[in-house]
């Protein structure tokens, strides 16, 4: 698919199915109305004069560094830019469903707060869930062996009662939901650092120990691993991560669609498949991909998250060229608009 066709597909009204057999739009775009999500893209831009080594409360009776610069991938892409790009896509996805999104930092150029500042901001936001977005590294060189995503959860109990309550209940549930969403999206749990089924328990991460709303801390991949790095760096890869993160959040907030009639759930999947296929009229690969999409074997996601996951085949078929033509460092906000446009096409078929 050419960039022009992709752009036309995004911009053209009525791209999604008008098939009378398809039920009324399964999503109103208001599913997350009244919900607040705190999105924390890890680290910060370089345009600041803050002292990263300033000691701040670690939530466990000690102190730790205010911040770190974050990792750099084997190809030289900084973590703060990867997490910023993906957080913008996640924000667009959630806002397209009516959520209020509060971000820990306003841009990718300057300061974004110490870890304790961000925890306080998350708590003060009253968010239903907070998501800290990071990517890992295992060496400054190339590490071909260690790869995969993981969710960091805090060792319990946490000294602060409010943080302990939030992370022991909602935080664990949200982390599990995120793990399942990542696996459904085709990502592999990390094979290093003592990660078990995509979950790593740690007592040295200040964020969750200082945050009184449920917090998910995702390490999306290993920037030292060439395969993980290429996904973290590419526009489609970033959109895939954003889809996984968005669906993890949505499934936590909405729960599985156990209350939905099976026929409705199937129809929702059909809407997504039809929209994807119709959008790429000239690209049979899309229809093939959509038609052979693997069943959701890991868990039972919400209907809305399945709609969003339905974008993935489109992303696969559009390819690096089509999206990369549209996406540059200078127009990342427009990338969000593209993602939001795709979501709106899927969620509100004419």
Closest to Zn ion by CB, 42 or 207: 42
User: What distance lies between CA 324 and its chain's CA centroid?
Assistant: 19
Q: Does 221 bind Zn ion (CB under 5 A)?
A: no
Annotated catalytic residue, options 219, 233, 236, 329: 219
Q: What is the C-alpha separation between 234 and 29, in angstroms, rounded?
A: 28
For Zn ion, the closer CB: 42 or 248: 42
Total residues found in the chain within this entry: 350
The CB-of-150 to Zn ion minimum distance in angstroms stands at 12
Q: Is residue 172 a contact point for Zn ion (CB under 5 A)?
A: no
Applying CB under 5 A, the site for Zn ion has a residue count of 3
User: Contact between 78 and Zn ion (CB under 5 A)?
Assistant: no
User: Taking the mean position of all CA atoms in its chain, how far away is CA 162?
Assistant: 26
Is 219 a known active-site residue? Answer: yes
Contact 71, 153 (CB under 8 A): no
Contact (Cβ atoms closer than 8 angstroms) between residue 310 and residue 272: yes
Q: Report whether the peptide linkage leading into residue 157 is cis, meaning its omega lies within 30 degrees of zero.
A: yes
| Binding span for Zn ion by CB under 5 A among 37-45, 110-118, 208-216, 340-348 | 37-45
CB of 83 to Zn ion, least distance (A): 7
Selected range binding Zn ion among 4-12, 65-73, 89-97, 173-181, rule: CB under 5 A: 65-73
Under rule CB under 5 A, residue 41 binds Zn ion: no
Among 9, 31, 40, 42, binds Zn ion (CB under 5 A): 42
Reported for 259-268, long-range contacts at CB under 8 A and 24+ positions apart, including other chains, are 260/303, 264/23, 264/26, 264/303, 265/303, 265/306, 267/22, 267/23, 267/26, 268/26, 268/303, 268/306, 268/307
Return the bridge partners of 31, or none. none
Residue with smaller CB distance to Zn ion, 70 or 341? 70
The reply to whether 70 sits near Zn ion by the rule CB under 5 A is yes
Residues designated catalytic: 219
Residues that bind Zn ion (CB under 5 A): 42, 70, 134
């Amino acid at each position: 698919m050419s960039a022009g066709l992709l752009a036309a597909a995004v911009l053209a009204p009525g791209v999604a199915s008008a098939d009378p057999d398809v039920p009324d739009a399964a999503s109103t775009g208001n599913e997350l109305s009244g919900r607040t999500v705190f999105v924390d893209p890890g680290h910060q831009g370089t345009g600041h004069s803050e002292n990263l080594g300033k000691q701040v409360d670690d939530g466990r009776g000690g102190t730790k560094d205010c911040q770190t610069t974050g990792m750099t991938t084997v190809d030289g892409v900084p973590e703060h830019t990867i997490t910023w790009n993906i957080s913008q896509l996640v924000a667009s996805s959630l806002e397209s469903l009516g959520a209020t999104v509060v971000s820990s930092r306003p841009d990718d150029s300057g300061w974004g707060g110490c870890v304790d500042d961000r925890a306080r901001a998350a708590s003060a936001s009253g968010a239903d869930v907070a998501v800290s977005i990071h990517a890992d590294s295992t060496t400054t060189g190339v590490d071909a062996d260690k790869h995969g995503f993981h969710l960091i959860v805090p060792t319990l109990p946490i000294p602060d009662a409010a943080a302990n309550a939030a992370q022991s209940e909602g935080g664990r549930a949200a982390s599990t939901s995120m793990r399942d969403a990542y696996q459904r999206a085709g990502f592999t749990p990390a094979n290093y650092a003592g990660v078990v089924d995509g979950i790593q328990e740690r007592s040295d991460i200040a964020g969750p120990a200082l945050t009184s709303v449920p917090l998910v801390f995702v390490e999306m991949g290993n920037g030292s691993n060439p395969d993980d790095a290429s996904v973290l760096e590419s526009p489609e890869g970033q959109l895939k991560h954003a889809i996984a993160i968005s669906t993890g959040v949505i499934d936590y907030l909405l729960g599985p669609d156990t209350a939905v009639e099976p026929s409705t759930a199937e129809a929702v999947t059909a809407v997504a498949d039809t929209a994807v296929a119709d959008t790429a009229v000239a690209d049979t690969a899309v229809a093939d991909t959509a038609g052979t999409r693997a069943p959701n074997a890991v868990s039972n996601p919400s209907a809305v998250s399945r709609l969003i996951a339905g974008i993935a085949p489109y992303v696969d078929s559009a390819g690096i060229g089509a999206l990369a033509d549209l996406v540059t460092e200078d127009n990342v906000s427009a990338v969000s608009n593209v993602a939001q446009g795709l979501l709106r096409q899927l969620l509100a078929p004419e």
